[in-house]
Amino acid sequence: MRLPSGATRFVARAIGVPLLAAQLSFPAGLLWWGGLEVSLSSDRATVGQQVWAGVEMSDADGRTAVLERRTGRAWTEFSRATIDDGRARLAAPTTAYASDMELRVRVLGGDEEVSDPLHLRVDPPYEPVGRPEMARPGTARWNPCAPIRYAVDEGAPVGAAEDVRAALAEVSRATGLTFVEAGTTGVVPQNDTASLGAGVDLVVAWADPDATSMLDPIEGGVVPMAGGTAAEVPGYRGEDGRPTGWIVQGRVVINERYDLVPGFGAPTQSTGLPRRGTVLLHELAHAVGVGHADDATQLMNSGEAPAPHDLERYGAGDLAALEAVGAGRGCVLDTRGAQVGTWPGNG
């Protein structure tokens, strides 16, 4: 069989059988395992770019090939296809950023075949500033195997719901978490664990500082522009076996005294204020478990110059922190090893 040239090269050897060193060339990421050949169309992609896992296996027509992604210690199915004429093509997950995604292919039916792992990196559509080492993830995270139901303030400014939706889409790309709209709410979040309303896990609200403890003055008596926090319950673990807190509620409050310009991007020159979407990116990252970064180049910095809201998008450290609290570690499990469901207090 003639194989196309590629980036991965090795010398074939056999045990107990004299062989002339035959140098074979394979496409990048090609694995040959017990008659099963698997290759990725690319081992690096931009988010949303289509990547395929090509499968070749003789005498396997009609069998099902399944592409799985490692999540913690488990493997989670992403796509499947029927092998026809010795081949199948499987879509790889590229909807969320990933610094090193581990994939494999299983062929079901008969003697099951499993490929060695392949690796795929999924990048944002821009070059993040800083370094991944600047990340400051927290010790708790949401259960990525259940959707996060969010509600937006019923009295939010015009267009604010669209900015919330866009900001959550970016958080989703960075974490792999799923956010589902649950309508509007009149709840004004506080620094407590009170219910956010039936069927709601995350609230984004606009309020006067006098109406919420989340906007209490900070050091120097400064009233914050916004606040974001996550309520967690300790004593759980991820599918990777590591302990974790389980985030069960998220709260974001924007100070309504600030007339923020809608959308995303650099601050407006006329007011010097950040755009509303950028503020939401910062506070929503807190709501999914990310802390402040020590470096001023990161959007999650704690307020050193430049202020975090003066930046336009997540830096490399921000993205690393968001990935660390995201779906890559698998579901959140209780002490019995069962996946957690919806926090009872949220209905």
Taking the domains of the chain in order of start, what are their residue ranges?
8-123, 132-346
Within 10 angstroms of residue 201's Cβ, the number of other Cβ atoms is 27
Closest CA to 324 of 255, 233, 266, 244: 244
- What's 126's DSSP letter? S
Task: Identify the pLDDT of residue 223.
Answer: 85
Q: Does an H or E element contain 188, and which?
A: none
CA dist 152 to 9, 160, 171, 188, 291, Å?
Answer: 53, 9, 16, 10, 23
Alpha-carbon gap, residue 38 to 49, rounded angstroms: 19
Number of H helices, E strands in the chain: 3, 19
Contact 63, 56 (CB under 8 A): no
- Residue 237 CA to chain centroid, in angstroms? 18
- Asked if 8-123 and 132-346 have one fold, the answer is no
Burial 7-18 (b: 16+ CB within 10 A, else e): eeeeeeeeeeee
Topology of domain 8-123, per CATH?
Immunoglobulin-like (2.60.40)
The three-point CA angle 275-276-279 to 5° equals 95
- What's 220's DSSP letter? G
Report the percentage of the chain scoring pLDDT > 90: 67
CA dist 247 to 32, 96, 233, 292, Å?
Answer: 42, 20, 6, 17
Alpha-carbon gap, residue 265 to 129, rounded angstroms: 15
Give the helix ranges, DSSP H, for the chain.
Answer: 160-175, 276-287, 316-324
CATH architecture designation of domain 132-346: 3-Layer(aba) Sandwich (3.40)
pLDDT tens digits, 86-96: 999 999 999 99
CA dist 220 to 107, 194, 257, 294, Å?
Answer: 63, 29, 19, 20
Strands 31-33 and 8-12, bridge-based pairing? unpaired
Residues of the chain with pLDDT under 70: 1-34, 304-310
Task: Identify the pLDDT of residue 94.
Answer: 96
Within 10 angstroms of residue 85's Cβ, the number of other Cβ atoms is 7
Closest CA to 142 of 324, 3, 291: 324
Contact 318, 232 (CB under 8 A): no
pLDDT tens digits, 160-212: 999 999 999 999 999 999 999 999 999 999 998 788 999 999 999 999 999 99
